[in-house]
A = this chain, B = another copy of it.
Amino acid sequence: MALDPTRTVAELEELRSLTGDADGAQRVAWTETWERARDFLRGKVEGTGAVEEIDAAGNQWFTLRGVSERELLIGGHLDSVPNGGWLDGCLNVLAGVEVLRRIASEGEPPVTVRLVSWADEEGARFGRSLFGSSAAAGSMRDQDELRALKDRDGVALPGALAEHGVSLDEALAASSQLEHAAAYLELHIEQGPVLESLDLPLGVVLGTFGVERSRFTWRGQAAHAGSTPMDKRRDALAGAAKLALYIREIAAEVGGGAVCTSGGVVTKPGIVTSVVETAEQLLDQRHLDAGSLARMLQLARDGAERFAAEENIEVEWERIWSIEPILFDDTLIGFADEAILEVAGASHRLPSGPLHDAAEVARAGIPTVMLFVQSLRGLSHTKVEDTKREHLELAVQALDRLASKTLAWLA
């Protein structure tokens, strides 16, 4: 059976009808709609000879036994955010099905090939993303926090998991699934504007950005807008404004794809008649190189201290969250580049800003690579998320070529 990328696009459309509505995709993990998507996947894999297994964390595996027990993994996620897009996550899974069909049609592969649909990549219902992949990777270390998570209706995570046959206490047992994993491949929409701006359909992902998330709290003095001369003010907003502009200089100075975002400022008292007393500012900084990321944070903190001194206000820094950069495998990056060149004539290497299940697998020490396909206008997590049909078909072809090259390497 030859690879048929048009079938993948048709199946994506089918899944959209089955699990979406006028507001977009509704395949939120641990819901009936998500189970419907898993049933749909089960039906599509049927006939390939791959054997299904749901692991202790709710991940759905399809295993095509090969000559060797070493495993090539192809993975994605069926779950979406509420009112999500038709491609985010499930493109990987359905492209993987097509690759599995092609490999299965050629007889027993040299190594075992497994398709995995990770459980709850988005964390849309309970706020904790990468649930299934972090359990499999053994990096899930927050069971106590997970136990306390509740959805908007007050349903606790453990209860929701139980309804889908998963016990939170047992979830880490999923790590046995990666015992024989030798390589991991994932295809995803870019969710950013880079490939579109370069007019390229496909790119190779070098790794996922390291992230530093900070809260800067600026403290000045509330003062009457009418009775306080300009030179008597201690304006907390001035500090936040200077930092909001300075982070662009930081990104430019550090370079290498550095991004800095001031995602919001909350001012108090926040009324028209008062100088701002307190401004809470969120900062997100990302880089693929750990040293560069550390330097970006240091520049921001030094800048904040300087601005606080200039404005005669105070500033307090707090780390909200951080994660190290996770680099993908050089050999697989090379294969991915070749695969893209073969099907599209031009490739591009880029980092991933968002995290993906692939990052968890890579953290577990398994050689990993991702392909990105162009996202129109860079939009995702919305019903208007889209990718050109011809680009989707090229993406399936590139994943198939990449799988072939990786199989040959592993053999």
A residues with a Cβ closer than 8 A to B are: 190-194, 197, 209, 211, 213, 223-230, 232, 235, 237-238, 240-242, 244-245, 248, 251-252, 257-267, 269-276, 282-284, 286, 320, 352-354, 378, 380
Contact = CB atoms under 8 A, between A and B. Distances in A.
A17 B260 CA distance: 55
B284 A265 contact: no
8 contacts: A193-B228, A209-B226, A230-B252, A235-B262, A238-B244, A241-B244, A262-B276, A264-B269
Given A263-B270, A272-B213, A378 B232 contact: yes
Nearest to A190: B227
A45 to B, nearest CB: 30
A271 to B, nearest CB: 5
A192 B224 CA distance: 7
A354 B378 CA distance: 49
Contact of A225 (B245, B263, B276): B263
Copies in the complex: 2
A224 to B, nearest CB: 6
Contacts of A191: 224, 227
A263 B271 contact: yes
A213 to B, nearest CB: 5
B263 A197 contact: no
Nearest to A262: B237
Contacts of A190: 227
A91 B141 CA distance: 64
A224 B378 contact: yes
A272 B245 contact: no
A124 to B, nearest CB: 14
Contacts of A354: 224, 226-227
B259 A276 contact: no
Nearest to A248: B230
Given A226-B354, A271-B282, A232 B264 contact: no
A320 B58 CA distance: 55
B267 A265 contact: yes
Contact of A229 (B194, B211, B213, B275): B194
A225 B267 contact: no
